[in-house]
Amino acid sequence: MTRTNIMKTNIAYFLLILVVSAIIIIVIAGFLNHKTPVEEPVCVPFYYYNSTSKQCQPQTISPACPPNRPDSEVYFACSGTKITPDICPSNYTFNRAKSQCIINNGATTASTTTLISLNTSITTTLNTANHKFSQQFCLNGDQNTTVMRYAIANGIKCFRADIYNSESEINFIANATKAGAQYIGILDYATVGAQPSIYGCVSGCNWTLDTWNASIVTAIDDYPEIHVWEIYNEPLGANFASGYENRNASHYFNMIKSAYSIIKSRDPNATIVCFGGAQMFSAFSSNSVQNEFIFYQQVWKYGASKYCDAISLHAYNQPYYNFDQIVNNGVTLEQSYNNTLNMYENLTNKPIWITETGMPSNNWTPGINYSEQKQAAFLVQDLNFFASHPFVKRIYWFHLIGYANKREDYGLLNMTTLQPKPAWYSYLYFIDNETN
pLDDT at 35 over 80: no
The pLDDT score that the predictor gives to residue 367 is: 79
Q: In terms of DSSP H, where are the helices of 239-370? A: 249-266, 286-301, 333-348
The residue among 113 and 28 whose pLDDT is bigger is 28
In angstroms, how far is the first alpha carbon of the chain from the final one?
90
Measured torsion, CA atoms of residues 202, 166, 80, 356, in degrees rounded to the nearest 10: 70
Q: pTM of the predicted model, to two decimals?
A: 0.76
Q: H or E element: which one contains 100?
A: strand 100-103
**CA separation (Å) from 126 to 132, 133, 224, 279, 412?**
11, 12, 40, 26, 21
Report DSSP letters for 188-222, one per residue: STTTTT-B--TT---BSTT--HHHHHHHHHHHHHH
- The DSSP-derived string for 216-233 is HHHHHHH-TT--EEEE-S
**Mean pLDDT estimate for the chain:** 79
270 burial class (0-12, 13-18, 19+ CB within 10 angstroms)? Answer: middle
Q: At what angle do helices 333-348 and 372-387 cross, to 10 degrees?
A: 30
pLDDT digits (tens, 9 = 90+) for 345-403: 999 999 999 999 999 999 888 878 899 999 999 999 999 999 999 999 999 999 898 87
Q: Can you give the pLDDT at residue 68? A: 35
* CA 28 centroid distance within chain: 55
Please give the torsion angle defined by the CA atoms of residues 121, 125, 130 and 133, in that order, rounded to the nearest 10 degrees. -120
**Given a cut of 50, is residue 244 above it in pLDDT?**
yes
pLDDT at residue 289 above 70? yes
Condensed to tens digits (0 to 9), the pLDDT of residues 67-121 reads 333 333 322 232 332 333 333 555 555 555 454 555 666 543 333 334 444 554 5
Residue 322 near residue 333, CB atoms below 8 Å = yes
In tens, the pLDDT along 156-201 reads 999 999 998 889 899 999 989 998 899 999 999 999 999 988 788 8
* DSSP codes of every residue in 111-122: HHHHHHHHHHHH
